[in-house]
A = this chain, B = another copy of it.
Amino acid sequence: MVSIKEVARHADVAISTVSKVLNGYPNVSEETKKKVQDAIRELNYIPNSIASALSSKQFGRVAMILDPKRQTQAIDQIFMQYLLGALDKAREMNLEAITVFTSMLAGMSAEEITRYFLSQSVTGVIIYGLSKEDKVLRRLIDERKFACVVIDAPMTNDRTTCVGVDHEQAQYDVAKKTILVDNCRQVLYIAGKKDGYVTEQRLNGIRRLEKEMNLSVLVRLGEFSELAARNITLKYAKNKDVVVCASDLMAIGAMNALIDMDIFRPVCGFDGITLMGYVGKQMNTVKQDFYGISSTAVEEVRRLMDGASGRQVIMPHSVVKLYYKDIIR
């Protein structure tokens, strides 16, 4: 492994000079700069980021905490978008991001996780899909030992920023758009999980619409499950005018149920995933930019690591109509 020392020798300068060239410092003459760069090229020198980090004390890695078993809004596709968005941005910002699954954290206390992260030089954390029931991660947030960004859970403090769309408004928007077409009054709302933050917010959205439009809304928990949504639909949809679902997956289940019941009802979903299979229908849904959300999360965690204070970041959403062609895998 060719080190900075050899480059220095080769270029006949001091190590520190090479370092300066490497890091684009001023006060290096063009002449020596060129000498150094030539040497770097000739020796095919590659700086060691580990040593660099140690020396400059700029550790600061970011841990992305994902819970794949927690089938909330949709499926793994979303996680991949999250990962992609974060890793791309991290690379762009010269940050190291490590992937951590909750299964690897299972059984650990907040202290143990803290220790683990610190030993890995992790100073920033992004939590995707926090559950209300997750005492440990909530503790981690409360302790403020890390710069935290929480996706889709409304938590902020001086070391914690939350990032996500306005689920309340989004649910309101998509439901309203769907309902207006057929002037529906009786709504079947299939919500998510009891312990989910987004479930609550989305529910608030439909409640607001209920009041505003004087609707009658029946709420059932679909657990973000296609099958549960199917069964709920089979049971309750008959004398409803519309089925509003808190996820695309559940919307698919509802649609299939309606087909089996041989009745038509408008259905709308949430998330805008594309791996839905072709149901041969169309439906409204909320399109979230998971890649962008995750990318923003990295920027935010960096802000926090640089000492900024936590805040709330609302990402834009849109209501789109998914057709057959959109939902082909």
Which residues of A line the B interface, CB within 8 A? 1, 44, 46-51, 53-54, 59, 68, 71, 75-77, 79-80, 83-84, 87-88, 91, 96, 98-101, 103-104, 115, 118-121, 225-227, 249, 252, 275, 277-278, 328-329
A sample of 15 inter-chain contacts (CB < 8 A) reads A50-B50, A68-B80, A68-B84, A75-B75, A75-B329, A76-B77, A79-B80, A83-B101, A84-B101, A87-B99, A87-B101, A88-B101, A227-B329, A252-B277, A277-B277
Contact B46 A118 (CB under 8 A): yes
Closest to A75 in B: B275
**Selected contact of A87 from candidates B50, B91, B104, B121, CB within 8 Å:** B104
- Closest CB in chain B relative to A41 CB, distance in Å: 11
- Bound form: Cα–Cα A80–B227 in Å: 22
**Residues in B neighbouring A59, C-beta threshold 8 A:** 50
- Closest CB in chain B relative to A44 CB, distance in Å: 8
Closest to A226 in B: B329
Contact B77 A47 (CB under 8 A): no
Closest to A64 in B: B99
- Bound form: Cα–Cα A88–B103 in Å: 9
